[in-house]
Structure 1
Amino acid sequence: MSDRRSERRQGTPRTKKRPATPLTRNTLIADFLTICELDPEIESLRAPADPAEFRVGDCTIEHIADFEIVRDGQSFLVDVLTDEDLLTHPLRTAAIHGLAAEDGRHFSIETAASIRAEPRFMTVRLIMACRRTPVTAGDRVRILHQLDEVGTMRLVDCAGAVMNTQDGVAAVLALACEGLIAIDISRPILPETQVRRRRLPFTDPFSF
């Protein structure tokens, strides 16, 4: 018995799990821009933002945020930081309790915890996975036309208008990647997920 035990102990040692690779700032920025692209409430985005002054205690700090986002006509300043960069950010403490620039623009900090929060992060990944799905002209017109007629539909019902694409849901989500359809990315992708037409970023030349 002792010989057998010694043979078992001399077996191949179990491989240890490698620690997760820390996310880089470029990766977080790419994730953040994808979220902004799919967020129907964001009207425009500019990088970097115009310089802003912040009153922190008795000091005035001038800072250039990574992005300036316009949502419902209101401008927001956003910095995207890794956990390490957050420790040395000059506005970190003040931003915890809410911070606005002297000109009124609200300032916030996005980190891996907020950018990759669930279920939004998984929903964004599922939508972007369909961006290369080819949607025929016929399916495209049928999907958009029924949304024009009804307004808001369940995802499963909207996908039912697809005739030429094998995966109707993927066809609808592909149009969301093009900015033609709005989906609430804060919720999981479910049959009852609400979809609607998104406002076109350009003027319709045929509108009278």
Structure 2
Amino acid sequence: MSAQAILDLSDRRTARRPGARRALKRPVTPLTRNALIADYLAICGLDPEVETLRAPAEPATFAIGEETVEHVADFEVVRDGQSFLVDVVTDEDLQTHPLRAAAIHGISSLDGRAFIFETAATIRAEPRFTTVRLIMACKRTPVTAGDRVRVLHQLDEVGAMRLVDCASAVMNTQDGVAAVLALACEGLIAVDISRPVLPETQVRRRRLPYTDPFSF
């Protein structure tokens, strides 16, 4: 190939560069309040420290300066015998919430119930968010009566166990880990959701099964 032909080819390639296709960024789907509520309920269902959850909460009155404000929170959560009022809000809703300014420094209703916000930042914090998603993905895994009894009996006898060891008691389900985590979704087994799902993840029997606040 001649030198002129090489130069001509180089010019043609250069001319095509401005028209090269660029990867298009997919638009980010807005995070809705309903999505956050669904995630929050999944966390409560798997958190062994949550004793009960009521939706909506009983009406509460707050003293803000010289005024009193009545508010019905989304949820009333009982942890270790202590009640908390919880509102699940998007970042946009938080800006206009009537209790936002007071809650920055901590606020409780006149009857002593502490009020807190749950936002995208708190609900979807890692590694808990991914751990909850992985566990909930096993919710529909069928667990036979035999496997159910063996797993729960093993935990009754031994107490806390590693997830990989507990899954070894499963005989009739192809994925033993999924079977154990399915029982966690039922509120029968407690899993530490604050850490990633690993072979050494600790599981134990949950004495007080969590009750769905909506009675689904």
Q: What TM bracket, shorter-length normalisation?
A: over 0.9
- In structure 2, the residue matched to 1:154 is 162
Instruction: Look at both structures and tell me which one has the larger radius of gyration over its CA atoms.
Output: 2
Report the equivalent of 2:44. Answer: 36
The 1-side partners of 2:203 and 2:13 are apart by 64
Match of 1:186 among 189, 194, 199: 194
Is it true that 1:108 corresponds to 2:116 in the alignment? Answer: yes
The residue aligned with 2:183 is: 175
Question: How far apart are residue 8 of structure 1 and its match?
Answer: 3.4
Instruction: Output the amino acid matched with 2:178.
Output: A
Q: Deviations over 1:137-160 (max 9, x none)?
A: 111111000100011111111111
Q: CA deviation at 1:61?
A: 1.2
Query: What is residue 119 of structure 1 aligned with on the other side?
Result: 127
Unaligned runs of 5+ in 2: 1-9, 211-216
1:85 to 77, 93, 97: 93
The whole-number CA distance in structure 2 between the counterparts of 1:45 and 1:111 is 18
Name the CA distance, whole Å, in 2 between partners of 1:158 and 1:71.
27
SS at match of 1:146: helix
Between the aligned partners of 2:147 and 2:35, the Cα distance in structure 1 is 34
* Structure 1: 4+ residue segments shifted above 2 A: 7-11
- Give aligned-pair identity as a percent: 77
**Does the residue aligned with 2:179 lie in a helix, a strand or coil?**
helix
C-alpha distance in 1 between matches for 2:190 and 2:209:
13
Q: Please tell me the residue identity of whatever aligns with 1:5.
A: T
Give the Å deviation of 1:53.
1.0
Matches within 5 A, 1:3-18: 3-11=12-20, 13-18=21-26
TM-score (norm: length of structure 1) = 0.92
Instruction: Report the counterpart of residue 11 of structure 2 in structure 1.
Output: 2
Moved more, 165-174 or 1-10: 1-10
CA RMSD, 1 decimal: 1.4
Q: Which residue of 2 aligns with 1:206?
A: none
Q: After TM superposition, list the pairs within 5 Å mapping 1:42-81 onto structure 2.
A: 42-81=50-89
Deviates more, 1:77-86 or 1:192-201: 192-201
Number of residue pairs the alignment of both structures matches: 201
- Which deviates further from its counterpart, 49-58 or 167-176? 49-58
